[in-house]
Structure 1
Amino acid sequence: MFYRFMKATLGTLLRVFYQPWIRGVENVPKEGPAIMASNHLAVIDSFFLPLMLPRSLVFLGKSDYMTGRGVRGRLVAWFMRGVGMIPVDRTGGKASEAALQTGLKRLADGGLFGIYPEGTRSPDGRLYRGKTGVARLALESGAPVIPVAMVGTNLAQPIGTRIPRLRRIGVVVGTPMDFSRYKGMENDRFVLRSITDEILYELMRLSGQEYVDMYASTAKARLAAGQQATTPTDAPGGRAAPEVEVPVPPAPEDGQESPPAASA
C-alpha cells in the first residue's frame, strides 16, 4: 500500500520535474521472479528505478540510509523504506551472505529483486568490475537476470550533491539473460566470474559507459589517496568494447515518452 502511495505522489512529482524516460519496459516480466541488475551512478538510482518499473522492486542499500539524523535523514529513511530498500550492513564479514539470502527469499516469493553488481556508486561515471554475488544469486535462484542501465543520474546528482539538479533521467531495460546452462556450478569461481562479466558487458552495451577492470571501491580508495585516476579497458572478460553510444531520450514526436507505471 505504501509503495503504491509513493508511486502516486512522489512518483508523479519526479515525472513532472525530471521528465524521466524508459525504454525496454516490455522486457520486465509481468509476473514471476527476476533479478534487475543495474549500473550505479548516483543515490537517486534507487529512487527512480523502482518508481519507473511497472512492478514492485525490492533492492539492497547501505544501512546508513536508514540511520540519518535530522529532518533530511528521516526523510531519506522514509523514502527508502517506501520504495522497498532493504538495509544491509556492508562492513561485517557476513554482510554479503545476508544480502544473498535476502535476495533468494524475495525471488522464491516470485518478486523482483534489484542489485548493483558494481557494489557501490561509480566515482566518475564509468562502469566498473562487477562482484560475483549477482551470479551466485542467478544460479541459486534460477531466476533470469535483466540488465538495466540508468542514464544521466550522475549528471543530475554528482557525487557530493545533496539536492539533485533538474535534468532528464533515463532507464534502459535490456532483454532477460538466462544462465540455466550453469545450473549446479554456483561454487565455481570461474563460472561466477564469467557470468558476472557477461552481465557487465550487457550493462556496458546498454549504457554506453566506458569500462574499467577494477572494483569501484578500489578506485574510490585510490582517488581518496590522491592517486592517479584509472584508465579505461576494453570490456568485461577481455572482449572488445561494443560500438555503442550513451542512450538519449526519445523525441517528443515519436510518442515514446515513458507512460505512468502501472500499480504494483
Structure 2
Amino acid sequence: MLFYWFLKFVAIGPLAKLAFRPRAEGREHVPAQGAAILASNHLAASDWVFMPLSLRRRVTFLAKAEYFTGRGVKGLLRRLFFSGAGQVPIDRSSATAAEGAIRTGIRMLEQGRLLGIYPEGTRSPDGRLYRGKTGVARMALETGAPVVPVAMTYTPRRMPFGRKLVRVHVRFGEPLDFSRYEGLAGDRFVERSITDEIMYEIMTLSGQEYVDVYGAQVKKRMDATGASASDVVSRLEPPADEAGDRAPDSLAG
C-alpha cells in the first residue's frame, strides 16, 4: 500500500508529470468512494501510469500473470514492483482462467475498490478502438458497480530544433448505470449489449475509429502473415460471442 503512494507521489508521478504534462478532464465523474469500474481504451503500456495519476483514489488493475513470474533478482524486483503498485495477477491462458479473472475483479469491486480494465483485451495494434470483451459487463452486473468510460489520447507536439513532445490527455466520461439489467448476469446478449454501449462511450470520448473485431485476433494474424492491421481487418468478420469473449484485459498486452 505504501509503495503505491511512493510511486505515485515520489518516484514515477512527479517525473511523468514533468515530462508529459498530462491533462485530466471529467475527474468529477469518478466516485469519491465505493466501487467503480474504469473502462479505458488501451493505446500504450504507459496507460496504467497516467490514468491513476489523474485521480486521488487508488486504482487497481488486473495484470497478466507473467509480470509476477521470473527467476532471480530481476524476477523478484518485478514481482515486488507490480504487487506494490496495486496490480493483481490473472491468468489469461484459457476460458477457465478467464472466469477466474472475472471472479478476481468482482472480489476487488466487492471490497469497494476502483478497478481499471481495458475491455479491448490488448493494446490497439494501430491506434483504432477494437471490439470489447464482455468481462467488464459481467463484473458490472454482478456487483452493481457503475462503469466510468475513460479515453487516453497521446498528441505529439513539435518543439524547437525538431524535437517532439507527447502530451497526454485523460478523459473520464459520465458513469454508466446498468441496474436496469439486474439479475441478467450470464446472458450473453445482455452482456454484449452492455459492452458495446461502453465501447461506444469510449469511442465518443477518444475520437477513435471503431473496429468490430478483436485486437488480439488482429495481432495474431499480423504476426503470422506480416500484414498490416488494416489488411488483416479487411479480411476478418465480426466474431460470434463465446465464453472466452468475457475475459477482461490485463495491465498491458
Deviation at 1:208, TM superposition (A): 0.5
Deviation at 1:182, TM superposition (A): 0.3
The 5-angstrom pairing of residues 143-154 of structure 1 reads 143-152=145-154
The answer to whether the Cα contact below 8 Å between 2:91 and 2:101 also exists between their aligned partners in 1 is: no
- Aligned pair partner of 1:95 in 62, 78, 97: 97
182-191 or 49-58, which deviates more: 49-58
Q: Which amino acid aligns with 2:232?
A: A
The whole-number CA distance in structure 1 between the counterparts of 2:26 and 2:8 is 20
SS at match of 1:149: strand
Gaps of 5+ in 1: 157-164, 232-264
The answer to whether the Cα contact below 8 Å between 1:38 and 1:114 also exists between their aligned partners in 2 is: yes
Deviation at 1:99, TM superposition (A): 1.3
The whole-number CA distance in structure 1 between the counterparts of 2:127 and 2:170 is 15
| Identical columns (%) | 55
The whole-number CA distance in structure 1 between the counterparts of 2:16 and 2:78 is 15
SS at match of 1:175: coil
1:199-236: CA deviation from partner (whole Å, max 9, x where unpaired): 000000000111110001111112112242325xxxxx
Pair 1:128 & 2:127 matched: no
The whole-number CA distance in structure 2 between the counterparts of 1:66 and 1:209 is 32
The whole-number CA distance in structure 1 between the counterparts of 2:53 and 2:18 is 13
Which position in structure 1 is the counterpart of 2:141? 139
- Aligned pair partner of 2:55 in 31, 43, 53: 53
Q: For the structure 1 residues 14 and 79, does the alpha-carbon distance in structure 2 shift closer, same or farther, using more than 3 Å as the test? A: farther
Pair 1:229 & 2:248 matched: no
Pair 1:18 & 2:20 matched: yes
- Which protein is richer in strand relative to its size? 2
10-19 or 220-229, which deviates more: 220-229
SS at match of 2:233: coil
The answer to whether the Cα contact below 8 Å between 1:172 and 1:206 also exists between their aligned partners in 2 is: yes
The whole-number CA distance in structure 1 between the counterparts of 2:26 and 2:74 is 34
Q: Which amino acid aligns with 1:183?
A: E
SS at match of 2:232: coil
The whole-number CA distance in structure 2 between the counterparts of 1:195 and 1:128 is 15
The answer to whether the Cα contact below 8 Å between 1:40 and 1:118 also exists between their aligned partners in 2 is: yes
Deviation at 1:125, TM superposition (A): 0.8
Q: For the structure 1 residues 76 and 20, does the alpha-carbon distance in structure 2 shift closer, same or farther, using more than 3 Å as the test? A: farther
Gaps of 5+ in 2: 158-163, 235-253
The 5-angstrom pairing of residues 1-264 of structure 1 reads 1-9=2-10, 10-67=12-69, 76-152=78-154, 167-226=166-225, 227=227, 228-231=231-234
Provide the aligned C-alpha RMSD in A. 2.2
The whole-number CA distance in structure 2 between the counterparts of 1:203 and 1:41 is 12
1:167-187: CA deviation from partner (whole Å, max 9, x where unpaired): 221211000000000001112
The whole-number CA distance in structure 2 between the counterparts of 1:148 and 1:170 is 10
The answer to whether the Cα contact below 8 Å between 2:92 and 2:101 also exists between their aligned partners in 1 is: no
Q: For the structure 1 residues 32 and 63, does the alpha-carbon distance in structure 2 shift closer, same or farther, using more than 3 Å as the test? A: same
Q: Which amino acid aligns with 1:230?
A: V
The answer to whether the Cα contact below 8 Å between 1:36 and 1:114 also exists between their aligned partners in 2 is: yes
The whole-number CA distance in structure 1 between the counterparts of 2:70 and 2:147 is 32
- Which protein is richer in helix relative to its size? 2
The answer to whether the Cα contact below 8 Å between 2:152 and 2:170 also exists between their aligned partners in 1 is: yes
The whole-number CA distance in structure 2 between the counterparts of 1:167 and 1:75 is 29
Deviation at 1:69, TM superposition (A): 6.3
Deviation at 1:43, TM superposition (A): 1.2
Deviation at 1:68, TM superposition (A): 5.1
Q: Which amino acid aligns with 2:8?
A: K
Counting matched residue pairs gives 222
Q: For the structure 1 residues 212 and 40, does the alpha-carbon distance in structure 2 shift closer, same or farther, using more than 3 Å as the test? A: same
The whole-number CA distance in structure 2 between the counterparts of 1:25 and 1:151 is 16
